Amino acid sequence: MTLRPLFIACLVLPLLAACDQLGIESAEKIAARKEAEGKALGGACRHAGRAIEDCYALNPKAEKAAVFAGWREMNDYMRENKIEEVVPQIAHPRARRPVETAEAAEAPPEKKRRAE
């Protein structure tokens, strides 16, 4: 009777060892993926000339430590190689809008439309 549980264990064990083939990610893989994504986001933010605070605001789900590490690495790389920032062509919907000048803020709405 002890052969049956041993036989079942021998059949099930290879299936459990191959859980990566089933599409189940381990905790280590998930953490490594999140770290890599955070670094990529931070590097992209720095290359686009965004402040680190803006990068945090635009990517609230990313790990802040990984975003900062990527931002810092890209900052060092850009300084060493004298690479200029690339201005984003498409504005992000959650990005902060530029602060209006004091004159435009105080002007009535009619003058704002005429100035535009």
**CA–CA dist 33, 27 (Å, integer):** 10
CA nearest 43: which of 12, 77, 13? 77
Residue 73 lies in a domain: yes
Structural domain count of the chain: 1
Residue 80 lies in a domain: yes
51: pLDDT strictly greater than 50? yes
Q: Which long-range contacts (CB under 8 A, 24 or more apart) does 60-69 make?
A: 62/34, 62/37, 62/38, 63/34, 63/35, 63/38, 64/38, 65/38, 66/34, 66/35, 66/36, 66/37, 66/38, 66/39, 66/41, 66/42, 67/38, 67/39, 67/41, 67/42, 68/42, 69/38, 69/39, 69/42
Residue 43 lies in a domain: yes
- Give the pLDDT confidence of 58-109 residue by residue, as tens digits: 999 999 999 999 999 999 999 999 999 988 777 766 666 555 544 545 555 5
Residue 69: the pLDDT is 96
- Give the pLDDT confidence of 7-34 residue by residue, as tens digits: 777 676 666 665 556 677 788 999 999 9
Residue 109 lies in a domain: no
**101 or 35: which carries more pLDDT confidence?**
35
115: pLDDT strictly greater than 60? no
Structural domain span for residue 82? 24-92
Residue 107 lies in a domain: no
Q: How confident is the model at residue 1 (pLDDT cuts 50, 70, 90)?
A: low
Q: How confident is the model at residue 112 (pLDDT cuts 50, 70, 90)?
A: very low
| DSSP state string for 51-100 | -HHHHHHH-TTS-HHHHHHHHHHHHHHHHHHTPPPPPPSS--TTSPPPPP
Residue 102 lies in a domain: no
Residue 100 lies in a domain: no
Residue 75 lies in a domain: yes
- Look at the pTM and tell me if it is higher than 0.75: no
